[in-house]
Amino acid sequence: MSNTHGPRPLRWVKSTYSGGEGGQCIEWAPQHAATTGEFLVRDSKNPHGPQLALTAEGFAGLVTYAKRNG
């Protein structure tokens, strides 16, 4: 029997701005952001490592930076 109580695991999505060669890849949790307003970002190569929590403005700045420097 599965436990339906408690928090659901986060669903992580790889950024479309991540490099295609498997090097610089980040993931974010869009459903968490939509629910809480907190934008979580992590290194896809280290999924159990630290996560960065950003505001909407901070996440927008990260996306802008990625577009310019990607």
The 10s digit of each residue's pLDDT in 14-62 is 877 655 555 568 899 999 999 999 999 999 889 999 999 999 999 999 8
**CA gap 52, 38 in Å, rounded:** 10
**CA gap 4, 17 in Å, rounded:** 34
pLDDT at 22: 55
In the β-sheet with 13-14, what is the strand arrangement from edge to edge? Answer: 13-14, 26-28, 39-43, 51-54
**CA gap 70, 58 in Å, rounded:** 17
pTM of the model: 0.75
